[in-house]
Amino acid sequence: MTLRVFAHKKRLDEGMTELSTKTMHKRDLGCSGLYRISRVLITPASLEIKLANVINTLPALLPMRRGAIVVLTAEGEAETTATFGVEAASSGARHIPAKAAIDRIVAKGAPLVVPDTCKSDLFQDELQSILSGTGQVTFIGVPMKVDQETLGTLWIDREKDDATRAQFEEEVRFLSMVANLAARAVRLDGHESRDGQPTMGEEGARKIGSGDKELPESARQRPTKIDWIVGESPALKQVVESVKVVARTNSAVLLRGESGTGKEFFAKAIHELSPRRKKPFVKLNCAALSAGVLESELFGHEKGAFTGAISQRAGRFELADGGTLLLDEIGEISPAFQAKLLRVLQEGELERVGGTKTLKVDVRLICATNKDLEAAVADGEFRADLYYRINVVPLFLPPLRERNGDIPRLAKVFLDQFNSENNRDLEFTPAALEIVSGCKFPGNVRELENCVRRTATLARSRTIVPSDFSCQSGQCFSSMLGKTADRPLGTHSLNGLTMSNGLPVESPVGLGYPNGPGSLTVAPQLTDRELLISAMEKAGWVQAKAARLLGLTPRQVGYALRRHRIQVKKI
C-alpha cells in the first residue's frame, strides 16, 4: 500500500515538473524571446543584417532544424532574405525552399502547420532535399503582416516529434509575433527607400564622432534650405529652426498667427523638409466651403451619392495618402463636421460620401488658423478632443511688424516678381524703402505684396519714389486696421481686439446717416457684449456699418457676434 502511494506521488511529481517546464517554456517564449528579437531589430544595421540576426536567434528559442525569412518584392515575387541551415543552391540558381507552402501562406494570409511533410502535396517536389537523411519533418510557417498587408513569410522546420496541438498553437503564436515585428522593419526600410535616398542597407551608416551612434543617410541628406521664406529677423529665424525640427517627425502641427503671415508657406516648408517630401502636399481652405461640400472634398464621394455626383471622386485625404494635408482656417468648420474629422484623425480610416467601404490613409496633418481656438473651446464652438488632437505641436508665426528688417527684403522680392511677370525693370529708391519700412502692415506679408504690386502698377517711371505710394496721398485705408495694435494698455477688448474706454470710436468714412458720420461713445462700465450690441443698434443691425463704428472688419464683428451668441435682428 505504501509503495503504491509512493509510486503514485512520484508520477504526480514528475507530471507537475513536466507541466512546470512547459509553463516556463511558454513564458520564456512570450517574454524573454520577444525581448531578444526586439533588441535585434532595433540595432542600427542594414535590413539584411537585422533579419539574419532574427533567424539566427530563433534556434535558441525553438527546436528548429532549418528556417528562413522570405520577403515579397514590389512585383509580388518571393525572395529569400535570411536563412538558417538552408544550403545555397548550386551554380547560383535562384531557388526558394518550401516555395509551394510559402505561396499558400501568402495567398491565404494565415499560418500553416504541416506535422508530417512526407504526407503533404506541398512538399512532394522537394521531399528529398527537405528530409536530408533525417526522418519525418514538421513544417511551421506564418505570414509577415503590417496593417493586414502580407509582406512575406517566416518558416521553420524540425524533425517530427510528439508535439501536441497546444504546443503548435503556442509556437505559431510566438512566430507570428516575431514575423510581424520583422514585417514592420521591412515596411520602415521600404519607406526610407521610396524617400529617394539611400538606406543604411545600401551605403551603411556613418559614425558620429567616436561613439556608436549612427544616422541614416536619408536623415542626413534631407534639404535644409527654405528658399520661399524670406527674412533674417530673429523672430523669423526662431520659427524656421522650429520648423526644421518638427519636420523630422509625423506629429500634427497647428500653425497660428494673424492673417497674411504665410501659414501656407510654412506648411510647405514642413512638408519639404520631412521624409514625406516625395509624396503629395495637398491643401484645402475649410472656411470657403459649407459642411456638405467640405465632407465631399475631404473624404470623397461615390457615384450617385448626391445630385451632381456623376462619378466617383477621391477626397483630399486619399490624395494626400503618404504625404501631408494642410487644412487652412480649421477653426471655421462646424461642430457636426468636427466629430467626423476627429474619427479620421484618430483611426486613420474614412468612408467616401455615399460609400460603405472603409479606406485607410496615412496622412501627416497640418492645420492653420488665426482664430482664438482656446476661446472657441471654452464657448463650446470647437470640440476640445479635436483641439487636443490637432494642437500637438503649435507654431506661432510672427506678424510682419515684429520682423525687424524683413520688410525691405520682402518688398524687393515682390518687386522682382512683378518685373518678371510684366517684363518691367522697376526699382525702389532708398527713400521709398524707408516709407515701406515704416508701415505697420496689419495685413502682414499679403498686404505688403499687394502694396508693392499696386505701387509698381501705378508708378510713372522705372524708379519708385515715396510719392508713388498711395499712403502718401491719403488713399491707403488699410492703415486704419493697424490702429488697434497701437492702442495703450488698459483699453477695452472685444474678441481680442482693443478699443479705448471712454473715448469716441469714430468711423473712418461716412456711414450714410442723415446727420453725418456716426460715432459711438464707449462708457467704461460697458461689457464686450453691451458694446457690441450698442454698435449694432446704432448701425441698424448692419454688420458692415457696425464694423466701421468699432474700427474693426465685418468679419471680426461676425466672429464677436457668434462668440457672444447675439442674435442679429432683421429690420
Alpha-carbon gap, residue 422 to 458, rounded angstroms = 13
Written as nine digits, the cell of 365 is 496633418
Element housing 258 (H / E): none
Kindly state the DSSP code that residue 513 receives in the 8-state scheme.
-
pLDDT for the residue 432: 92
Q: pTM score, two decimals?
A: 0.49
pLDDT for 523: 44
Strand partners, 326: 283, 366
Average pLDDT over residues 288-317: 83
CA distance 498 to 145: 58
Report the pLDDT value the prediction gives residue 481, as an integer from 0 to 100. Answer: 60
Task: Give the chain's domains with CATH numbers.
Answer: 32-88+95-194 (3.30.450.40), 234-396 (3.40.50.300), 400-479 (1.10.8.60), 491-563 (1.10.10)
- Give the amino acid at 391: N
Q: What is the pLDDT of residue 479?
A: 60
Cell of 164: 501536441
**Count of alpha carbons within 13 angstroms of residue 246, beta-carbon side:** 25
What radius of gyration do the chain's Cα atoms show? 34
Q: Is the pLDDT of residue 515 over 80?
A: no
Phi, psi of 215, deg, nearest 5: -125, 130
CA neighbours closer than 13 Å in the CB half-sphere of residue 467: 3
Whole-number average pLDDT of the chain: 76
Q: Which residue has the higher pLDDT, 495 or 565?
A: 565
Tell me the β-bridge partners of 366: 253, 326
Note the pLDDT of residue 478: 67
- What's the rounded mean pLDDT across residues 421-434? 92
Contact assessment for residue 132 and residue 100, using Cβ atoms and an 8 Å cutoff: no
Q: Model confidence over 196-219: pLDDT tens digits? A: 443 333 333 333 233 333 334 344
pLDDT class of 536 with cuts at 50, 70, 90:
confident
Query: What mean pLDDT do residues 487-503 have?
Result: 39
Residue 356 in this model has a pLDDT that exceeds 90: no
- What pLDDT shows up at residue 407? 92
Q: How crowded is residue 353: how many other Cβ atoms within 10 Å of its Cβ?
A: 19
Strands 463-464, 427-428: pairing is parallel
Q: Is the dihedral of CA 233, 234, 239, 243 positive or negative?
A: positive
Q: How far is residue 548's CA from residue 337's CA, in Å, rounded to a whole number?
A: 33
Residue 360 and residue 464: Cα distance in Å, rounded? 55
Packed helices 554-563 and 528-538: angle between N→C axes, nearest 10 degrees:
130
Rounded to an integer, what distance in angstroms lies between the CA atom of residue 137 and that of residue 114?
9
**Region 89-103: what's the mean pLDDT?**
67
DSSP letters spanning 347-413: HSEE--BT----EE---EEEEEE-S-HHHHHHTTSS-HHHHHHH-SEEEEPPPGGGSTTHHHHHHHH
Please determine, for residue 382, whether its predicted confidence score (pLDDT) is greater than 70.
Answer: yes
Tell me the pLDDT band of 512, cut-offs 50, 70 and 90.
Answer: very low
Q: Which of 363, 290, 298 has its CA nearest to residue 324? A: 363
CB-neighbour burial class of residue 90 (10 A; exposed 0-12, middle 13-18, buried 19+): exposed
